[in-house]
Amino acid sequence: MTHEPRAGSKFAEVLRRARQGATQKQIAAQTGFEYFYVGVALAKLRGRGLLAKPDEIWTDAVLEALRVAIVVDGLKGTAAAARLTQRFERPFSRDQVVGVALRRGWRAGAVDAGAGLAKNPPRWTAAAEAALRAAVADKLSGREAGVRLTEMFKIPYSRNMCIAKAQRLGLQFISEPGPRCAKSAPQASARRAARQKKRAPAVVCGEAQEAWAPQRLALLDMRPGDCRYPLGDPGAEGFGFCGAPARPGETYCAHCARIAYETPAQRRKRRKEWCDARGLRVEREWTGREGRPA
């Protein structure tokens, strides 16, 4: 025997609004009750038999109508809820429809009745595998095999799907290099060579090394346009700055700029060339500040 809640109580208000088709969220917003309290009240009312359980609302007929509305007709949640409300004469909200559809894996427009192509991932049946093997035997590319299988089975097969399945079956498609890949290699080589030419300083040996004439100027004796590369130890006697004419718009002269900006590999190569030209043996790293190798 079921007992109706006392008139004027919160349970009675929740029951009245629930029978009108309001959801838990709507009841909480309309009455000002806490959302958790409304949920507990609805559960107790269903336990007493005063409200139908949610599972009883979604009968086989309602579920089939929802499946047709979403999967076949491609309706969205709001439109599907309106159709169910009109057909079964009871309120269905968008959230209810979307929740049931997601739990059952239904998506809007999963079947395109006009083209007859299923948008769900295709299944690799025995016939599809045989067709894939035939495509590999005919020396088709992965893209061409996907087009052939799509036309045969009316199911979309992409290039990557065919290639992955072929690899799992131990098959190998022919390579299909595109024009973009063919052009990228020489362009990349040209760009790489241009970058190396831009950042690699010119190696000057022999006579160019002799042209460097540092002045070893003090800081107060320097003028605009003089090279400011330090020579020697700042705490030792004879320390000074290069003082040679600097390159336009730069701080150092050509010789000191090569020392300041060159990489260790370039510095070793330049030192070796300088010593080989004079028949000297390289015994330690030359910093360039002394003007000659040790």
Task: Specify the number of domains making up the chain.
Answer: 4
* pLDDT tens by residue, 133-169: 999 999 888 889 989 988 888 888 888 888 988 988 8
Q: Please give, one letter per residue, the 3-state secondary structure of 98-121.
A: HHHHHHCCCCCCCEECCCCEECCC
For position 262, what pLDDT does the model report? 76
* pLDDT tens by residue, 90-102: 888 888 888 888 8
Question: How many Å apart are CA 288 and CA 204, to the nearest integer?
Answer: 13
Cα-to-chain-centroid distance, residue 266: 38
Residues 43 and 69 reside in one and the same domain: no
Q: Note whether residue 74 is domain-resident.
A: yes
For position 156, what pLDDT does the model report? 82
Q: If DSSP codes are grouped into helix, strand and coil, which group holds residue 230?
A: strand
Q: Note whether residue 177 is domain-resident.
A: no
Q: Note whether residue 20 is domain-resident.
A: yes
Residues 61 and 108 reside in one and the same domain: yes
191 pLDDT more than 80: no
Q: What value does the mean pLDDT take over residues 188-198?
A: 66
Q: What value does the mean pLDDT take over residues 222-245?
A: 86
* pLDDT tens by residue, 69-88: 888 888 888 889 899 988 88
Q: Which span out of 126-135, 250-259, 263-272 was modeled with the highest average pLDDT? A: 126-135
- What are 112's strand-pairing partners? 117
Report the candidate in 47, 60, 61, 59 with the shortest Cα–Cα distance to residue 2. Answer: 47
Query: 160: domain range?
Result: 121-168
* pLDDT tens by residue, 105-135: 887 654 444 434 444 554 688 888 999 999 9
Cα-to-chain-centroid distance, residue 115: 32
